[in-house]
Amino acid sequence: MPVCPRCGRELDASHEAGALCAQCAAQIRSEEVPGRIAALLSSPTIVLIVLNTVVFLLMVLKGHSIFGFTSALLLQWGANSGVLTSGGEWWRLLTSTFVHGGLLHIALNMWCLYSLGWLAELLFGRRNYVLLYLMCGIGGSLASIVWRGHGLSVGASGAIFGIAGALLPAIYLHGNRQLRMALRGHLTAVASFVVYNLAFGAVVPGIDNAAHLGGLLTGLALGVAYPSGPERRRGEGSMRFVGSTLVMLALFYAAGTVAKQRNAGFIEAEAASTAFQSGDLNQAIAHAQRAAEIRPDDPHMQFMLGTFLVSQQRYAEAMEPLLATTRLLPDFGPAYVNLCAAQLAQRELTTALANCEKGAKLSPEDAASWFNLGRVRYAMGDVPGARDALAKAVALRPKGFEENLHYGLLLVSAGETEKALPYLQKAHDLRPDDEQLNTMLEKLSGRQSEAAGKP
């Protein structure tokens, strides 16, 4: 009688020699399932996909959206930014690789990672594969802030392109000829993936091809240097592995230095904006001046400096950066508005009028453009023109103190005290501690009362 080779039970004569009994076969099948699940959960590719997905789901809960997130939320969760990253928050080089912009973004990236990751695990081993993934992600993030400057970028695509780049030499240079021939189809598929996605990123706006290329080049270099296949299993190539990792880290340091230099102007501008918001105008102007010196051809840097100087009533100093802004960006209305304010303060009324009119034409919805235009016209004796401009300013900014005050004063000067009082009262409500306005309102109200009491 045949017996089960596993438990020794006697089997029917119909059983083949060496076959397992039904009980042992069922037990083995039940043991295989959790074994396969354990192997799946221990795969670095699956772990990386889970991490990316968890971050995405947490962002969905925070942002109350699944198809896209705001720039503020992306930055809050670690997006890569030329200004913030090269300004000292270098951890964003890595965290940005686990942040995605929306459902389609993460779905495509995770599908690509799943398709390529298992083969990279097989060739490089799990430990080397994880390090390779992280290094390629950092390489892609660095390329993004070096190439694109101060732009914002997120996603695992740099790391995924790096894995694809590492697979190309690993397959092509594989020591086992038979296995290399068997993997030829994968080599073609990976190469097609790289070419197609780079071409797609070149024609579709919003895709960070700089990160793709940075990750790809990092992966190509490490794919040549890192031991793979039989060489790795024999424990060979460990010195090359360590050496190439150290060389790549040195290249990362050099790239970070270049990124910091490239984004120096934007870093200073960010510091200027932060100082201005905190009320430190002197520091804001100092940073803005350095930003304008570093990037003299950037109209936004020049405008920031000119605007800060106007806010501190340093009108003569504000002229140069504001004039530079109008030369560099001739259709930017706010630059003409601020230039008009600086010229008005210096009594350059003719040029101020021309700039105010241009500012109002370019920025008709900006209350400041009409407010400054009204002030210039009034200074030049054009009371009707001033009245029209200030009326538009009040309509655009009904809760503006200066707008209501100047419009009310203009109406008083024109003898329309009754019509002026509501605007002056609104200005008082906005700044009840303004003593001069309080005194004026008392006098005007008293005159109105006296006029009303006369027979």
Q: What is the DSSP string of 335-347?
A: HHHHHHHHHHHTT
Indicate the SS3 state at residue 153. Answer: strand
State the catalytic residue, choosing from 153, 157, 228, 363: 157
64 is catalytic: no
Give how far Cα 25 sits from Cα of 11, 21, 30, 38, 216, Å: 13, 6, 9, 20, 47
Half-sphere exposure of 262 (CA within 13 A, CB side): 20
CA distance 165 to 175: 18
Residue labelled with tokens 């008083």? 412
State the catalytic residue, choosing from 105, 212, 287, 300: 212
Indicate the SS3 state at residue 81. Answer: strand
Cβ within 8 Å of residue 150, ≥6 positions away: 81, 82, 83, 263, 266
CA distance 387 to 407: 7
Tell me the residue ranges of DSSP E strands in 233-364: none
449 is catalytic: no
List for the chain the helix, strand, coil content (%; round to 5): 75, 0, 25
Q: Are 332 and 325 in contact (CB under 8 A)?
A: yes
Indicate the SS3 state at residue 206. Answer: coil
H-run or E-run covering 29:
helix 22-41
- Active-site positions? 157, 212
